[in-house]
Structure 1
């Protein structure tokens, strides 16, 4: 058996062949996002050094940053004690991980007095990030 296959076999994949993944900024420790990977996504991530996820809504591989340019350079892959969660310690190119234009997808904080409140600013308008020309005609 190929050693490259054995490490993938150690992951406890769910019944859909997926594993949850947390992306964490390697320098600050900020949790940036949560996503899913299948075997091909995890193998591709390890091989290329850039985060590739499985999009459950689009039912296809998703190279983080393929549209926005905000790729994730992987510094370290870790697996939890139950082998059922992957942690990517990454460098977030451009500083924006969230499709809303924020640094992190975890920008809402629960406050007992008011409920969920947005506590992180939009760094770049998502309409500029995801326009065909990347917002260049708007600069």
Structure 2
């Protein structure tokens, strides 16, 4: 059996992929992979995802230069989620110019919880993306 046959792909042929900083353990982002993206990621040791909005492969860092060098790939017990342990080039994983896509924290503000931004923008996204897409 081929190693990719052990993956429990969803009805769209995708699997969620969590990118985690290999050194700090911080979750940087969550994206999707199809069979080809996971195979390319394993072969090249750089993260490749499937863009659902653009319906095409997305090589992380192809536009921004913020490549994710893959140190390890793990499959969960159900076979339906992968975690990529990565070295994030440039220290920015998020299209907003932040280290992580998880930069908002739910904070109690009086009677109503509010999302509070906790991480600073490290680089203005308009200086990262040449096509003005603001997202890889």
Q: TM-score range by the shorter chain?
A: over 0.9
> Structure 2: 5+ residue runs without aligned partners?
132-136
1:60 aligns with 2:56: yes
1:122 aligns with 2:118: no
Q: State the distance in 2 between where 1:131 and 1:16 align.
A: 31
Superposition pairs of residues 55-134 of structure 1, within 5 angstroms: 55-113=51-109, 114-131=113-130
Q: State the distance in 2 between where 1:49 and 1:69 align.
A: 15
* Structure ranking higher in helix proportion: 1
1:39 aligns with 2:35: yes
SS at structure 1 position matched to 2:20: strand
Match of 1:136 in 2: none
TM-score (norm 2): 0.92
Q: Deviations over 1:33-85 (max 9, x none)?
A: 00000000000000000000000000000000000000000000001110000
Q: State the distance in 1 between where 2:129 and 2:10 align.
A: 32
Q: State the distance in 1 between where 2:108 and 2:50 align.
A: 35
Q: State the distance in 2 between where 1:115 and 1:83 align.
A: 34
TM-score (norm 1): 0.90
SS at structure 2 position matched to 1:57: coil
Aligned partner (choices 3, 6, 15) of residue 10 of structure 1: 6
Q: State the distance in 1 between where 2:16 and 2:54 align.
A: 17
Structure 1 runs (4+) deviating above 2 angstroms are none
> Structure 1: 5+ residue runs without aligned partners?
133-139
